Structures are given as C-alpha cells and as structure tokens.
Chains A and B, each alone.
Chain A
Amino acid sequence: MTRSGWRGYIVFFLAPATLIYTIFAIYPIAESLRLSLFAERDSAALFVGFDNYQKLFTEPYWAEQFWNAFKNNVWLFVLHMLIQNPIALALAAILSIPNLRGAATYRTIFFLPTLLSVVVIGFIWQLILSPLWGITPAFMNFIGAGSFFAPWLGLESSALTTVTLISIWQYVGIPMMLFYAALLNIPEETLEAARIDGLNGWWIFWKVKLPLILPTLGLVGILTYIGNFTASFDLIYTLQGGLAGPNGSTDVMGTFMFRTFFGFQAQLGDVNMGATVASSLFFIILLGVSVYLFGVQRRLQRYQA
C-alpha cells in the first residue's frame, strides 16, 4: 500500500477522538492556565503575571480560604488512605480465597454503593444521621452508646470526618475491585510454590501476594489522591451546601473553586480568580502525579524486577 493511503486511514481513525479530546478537555485546561495570568480591569483583560497567585496565597481573604480548603483536602486524603484502602485490601484478600462460597454475591453487594450518585448517597446518610429521624440515636442506645450521639454533620469539629467516612463507605468498592483483579492475576504456580515451602495463608499474603500487588497499591494511591482533590465537590455540595459549612469546616478545593468562579450570596464571581484556583489545583495534582510516576512507580518496578 502507498504511504499516502496509510495516512488517510490514520487520520480517519484518530482524528475524531483527538479533536473532541483536544477541544473539550485539553484546550479548556490550557485556557484556564492562561486566564489565571489575567485580571479584569475596566471590563478589559489585563495581563497581570502571577499577581492572582500572589493574591490567592497571601491576601488574608483568599489565603485563609485556600489553605483551609487545602488542609481539609489533605485530611480527606489521609483518611481515605488509612481507612478506605486497607478495608478494600482486606475485603479483596478475603474475596480472592479460592472456592469461597458466595464470592460473586458479596462482590456485587460491596460494589453497589459505588454505583450510586453521590447526591443520592449524601441524602441517605443525612437522613440516617439526622437527630430528627432518630435512626442513629436509637441504634446507639441499643448498643449502649447512646450518650455518644451528636449531630455530627452539623458540628464544626466532626463534620469533615463524617463526610469523609460517608465517602469511604461509598467508594471502597473501586480499590477493592482493583486489588481483587491484581490478586486474581497472581499465577497459581507462585502460590503453589509458597505452599510447598510450608507457608500458611497469612504468611503467603504478607510475603508473597502483597509484594506482587505493590504496583496496584501505588495506582490506588494516586487515584485516591486525584479523586480526593476533584471529586469531593459533589458530596460536600450535596451535604453541606456551597458554603461548605458549618463555618467553612468542610470546604475543599472543589467547593472553593465553585464559589470563586460563580460567586455565592454576597460574594461576586470572578473568572480569573476561579481560573487561578483551578490552576493551583492543577499544579497540586501534577505534583502528586510526578511523585507517583518518577518516585513510587519506578521504585516499585525495580522491586518487581
């Protein structure tokens, strides 16, 4: 076939995806980065360099909100890493026991909350935790811990952690599936060799299986990081509203970006500052991804080889 013939096919197969992706994913992100370097003066765009970033990080009004949202996001990430991913790994390890009765049913049930809209999940937990309905106080009385009940979502000290636990309850299914697939992909011969060496199930898990699925642990880590910085908006907006109350205690980068861009109540929307918040978030994610690609993943691969 002639060279130009191939070129025709390449364009035919690649152009549609590349075009849509470039126009509606890459261009907007690049354009947001550009907008963060401008400000509106007398209804004209004025190049201001890094002034917006300086404003965001140092002017009390902005800096307070930014660092508060950032700190909350870090807490969200830490809790997901410490609670969600270990639970997911434990469930996946149990489910991957050979010939486990009912494994498919359990797997389906565990993954179910993941499928549902955050909006639905948020309201369900709001109702369950509501002092008005009394489901949770009644349950806590039943197990003899009634005096510990508090309207957790409404208290500054506990709102963020409560929201995070709801998120963990919902999303544990995704890391579980990834761990599960990785565990099933371990060759039977490797496990058989370990058994012949006289290792019991517990040791096999720690000494054979876990090292083999380290790349998946790394992948789950970075996915948790990205999801936590962007997707947390939906749940917090649903549960706590755009102001991420009480008193900003559940504010994350997503809700902060939304308020900055569109304005909220007395605060006016600001396109350029919204782009600045988005771009800061872009660099935060880029930093995490770089650490993963050049630090974690490389080391894991070396460990594998």
Chain B
Amino acid sequence: MRNNPLSSIAIHSVLILYSLLALFPLVLIAINSFKSKKGIFRDPMALPLGDLYSSKGYQSVLANGDFPLYFGNSLIVTLISLVFILLLGAMAAHALTEFRFKGNGLLGLYLILGIMVPIRLGTVALLELFVKLGLTNTLTALVLVYTAQGLPIAIFIFTEFLKSVSGEIKDSARIDGLSEYRIFFEVVLPLIRPVIATVAVFSMIPIWNDLWFPLILSPGEGTRTVTLGIQQFIGQYTVNWSAVLAALSVAIMPVLVMYVIFSKQLIRGITAGAVKG
C-alpha cells in the first residue's frame, strides 16, 4: 500500500480536499477582514491587495475599546484555572496512586465522576450559590467553576499516567530523606511533564471558548470574556461586515498561537498513552 504511487496520489487527494474544507472558511474570513464592505461583497474570493485593502474593520474593533479588557479577562480566567487544575489535579492523583488508605478507590471514582456528568446541569444551584457568596459578576466565580470542571479529566489522566510509572524513583528519594512535599514537587511533577501539555490543552480550550458560564455567571461589562464579548459585539454590528470579520479574526488569533506552541507536545502526550480509552 505504501509503495503504490497510484494509491499514494489518491490518499493525498483525499487529505488535501479535506484540508481545504477545514481551512477554507477560516481563510475566507481572514482575507475579507482586510477589505471594505464594498470589497467584501464585490470580490469575496480575492486577496486584500491594492484598492481592495482596507483596515477599517480592525479600526472599528479597536475603537470599541473593550477588547483588550475582554482579552485580559479571558487570559486571567484561563491561566489561573489552568494552574489550579494542573497543580491540584496532580496533587490528588499523586495521593491516590501513592498512599494506600481506606476509601482510596471510592474517592478516586468520585473525583472522576465529573467526566460523565457535566457541571452545566448544576447551573441553577451554582448561580444561587454565587449569589449567596456575593461572587456574581466576578472572575473568581468563573475560575472556581472551571477548576471544578477541569479537575476530573486532569485527575484521570494523571492517575493513569502515574500508575504506569515505576515507584522506584520515589522510594529512592524517600531513602535520601526527602520530605513527602519535596518528593511531589521535585520528583513527581517533573515525572508527569509529558502529559501536562495534553491536560493543559484539553482543559484550556473549553475554558477559553465557553459561552455558557460567562453568559450566566458574569455577563457584566467589566468581567466579560472574549467569547462573550465577541458574541455581544457581533450582535450589535451585524451591518458592519468589516468590523464583524475583523472581530472574528481577532478572536481566532490567541487560540491559534497557543495551539502552535503546544501542538507537538499535545500529540506526543496523546500517543504516549495518556488517552487510552
């Protein structure tokens, strides 16, 4: 199969065709975001060169003024949640695999229940809880929810991975007299590095892209995330196509950058057996 040039051409045709299908919508938006409304309608497939080029769309996005704030909010929420998910998840997984105690198995099962039962189903009670705590319209509420949402998957992947790692390193560290805390930070954390990227990407994407919780828990002007901000912005500017397309392009960029940075490690983590099904 590998050596047959005909089937090789067929395979690459299929792959290229699907690549076009996956990329075409994104490229279309990106090139048209640099055109004026006239250009967008007159010549949608052309590159934004010569008199087609216009940066008006981006200017009106920037003039709106709130996007840096939205980006900041999303960045804060995503990063802090991510740190909590990775650190607390790794700590829990370490305890579950390292210490034998009564109820260990049951607690492990309890902690990964959340993979199967989406936290969104508790939205009604979550909102009441945050009202009581006085945390509505704060980024803290989002961080807490996303941490709780991300922990089960992180604990599951870390536990599976730690089970496959030999305990000898930890035992020799113990003989060397390292405290349990130092063993975790100096031995276990470096040990799980291969799957950290996988957990990070899989936790990060749903947080950055979420519309549900920002819409319900923190819709206020000052705490809007990018996803919610874009949703509202586009709702207001449906006639200003240049601005809409520019806003969409702006929203795509950060995720794209994160993906490019993490993609190699992500694949390595997945194929290293972190996700075995």
Q: How far is the CA of A29 from the CA of B88 in the complex (A)?
A: 21
Q: How far is the CA of A127 from the CA of B243 in the complex (A)?
A: 13
Partner of A230, one of B2, B111, B120: B120
B114 touches A109 (CB 8 A): no
Rounded to whole Å, the gap between the CB of B237 and the closest CB of chain A is 11
Interface locus among B47-55, B59-67, B189-197, B268-276: B268-276
State whether the Cβ of A51 lies closer than 8 Å to any Cβ in chain B. no
Given contacts A115-B205, A178-B275, contact A108 B263 (CB under 8 A): yes
State whether the Cβ of A47 lies closer than 8 Å to any Cβ in chain B. no
Interface string of B215-252 (1 = CB under 8 A from A): 01000000000110011001000000100110010011
A230 touches B211 (CB 8 A): no
**Cβ of A200: which chain B residues have Cβ within 8 Å of it?**
1
Interface string of A198-225 (1 = CB under 8 A from B): 0011000000000001011011001000
Chain A interface residue number, banded:
35 or more
A112 touches B151 (CB 8 A): no
A17 touches B251 (CB 8 A): no
By CB atoms of chain B within 10 A, which of A24, A257, A271 has the most?
Answer: A24
**Cβ of B19: which chain A residues have Cβ within 8 Å of it?**
106, 109-110
Q: How far is the CA of A178 from the CA of B266 in the complex (A)?
A: 12
A16 touches B88 (CB 8 A): yes
State whether the Cβ of A97 lies closer than 8 Å to any Cβ in chain B. yes
State whether the Cβ of B44 lies closer than 8 Å to any Cβ in chain A. yes
Given contacts A274-B124, A275-B125, contact A110 B118 (CB under 8 A): no
A14 touches B91 (CB 8 A): yes
Rounded to whole Å, the gap between the CB of B241 and the closest CB of chain A is 8
**Cβ of B210: which chain A residues have Cβ within 8 Å of it?**
234
**Cβ of A95: which chain B residues have Cβ within 8 Å of it?**
15
Partner of B126, one of A28, A94, A113, A117: A28
Rounded to whole Å, the gap between the CB of A260 and the closest CB of chain B is 9
**Cβ of B251: which chain A residues have Cβ within 8 Å of it?**
116-117, 119-120
State whether the Cβ of A194 lies closer than 8 Å to any Cβ in chain B. no
**Chain B interface helix/strand/loop/mixed:** helix
Partner of B211, one of A180, A219, A234: A234
Q: Give the nearest-CB partner of A138 in chain B.
A: B44
State whether the Cβ of B40 lies closer than 8 Å to any Cβ in chain A. yes
State whether the Cβ of A63 lies closer than 8 Å to any Cβ in chain B. no
By CB atoms of chain B within 10 A, which of A29, A177, A219 has the most?
Answer: A29
B29 touches A124 (CB 8 A): yes
State whether the Cβ of B113 lies closer than 8 Å to any Cβ in chain A. yes
Sample of 19 A–B contacts (CB below 8 Å): A13-B91, A14-B107, A25-B148, A27-B125, A35-B124, A98-B2, A108-B259, A110-B22, A116-B251, A117-B209, A117-B211, A118-B209, A119-B211, A119-B227, A125-B25, A169-B21, A181-B270, A185-B273, A271-B124
Residues of B whose CB lies within 8 Å of any CB of A are 1-2, 11-12, 14-15, 18-19, 21-23, 25-26, 28-29, 40-41, 44, 84, 88-89, 91-92, 94-96, 99, 101, 107, 110-111, 113-114, 116-126, 128-129, 144-145, 147-149, 151-152, 155, 180-181, 184, 205, 208-212, 216, 226-227, 230-231, 234, 241, 244-245, 248, 251-252, 255-256, 259, 263, 267, 270-271, 273, 275-277
Residues of A whose CB lies within 8 Å of any CB of B are 6-7, 9-10, 12-14, 16-18, 20-21, 23-32, 35, 91, 94-95, 97-102, 104, 106-120, 123-125, 127-128, 133-135, 138, 169, 177-178, 180-182, 184-185, 200-201, 213, 215-216, 218-219, 222, 226, 230-231, 233-234, 237-238, 254, 257, 261-262, 271, 274-275, 278-279, 281-282, 285-286, 289
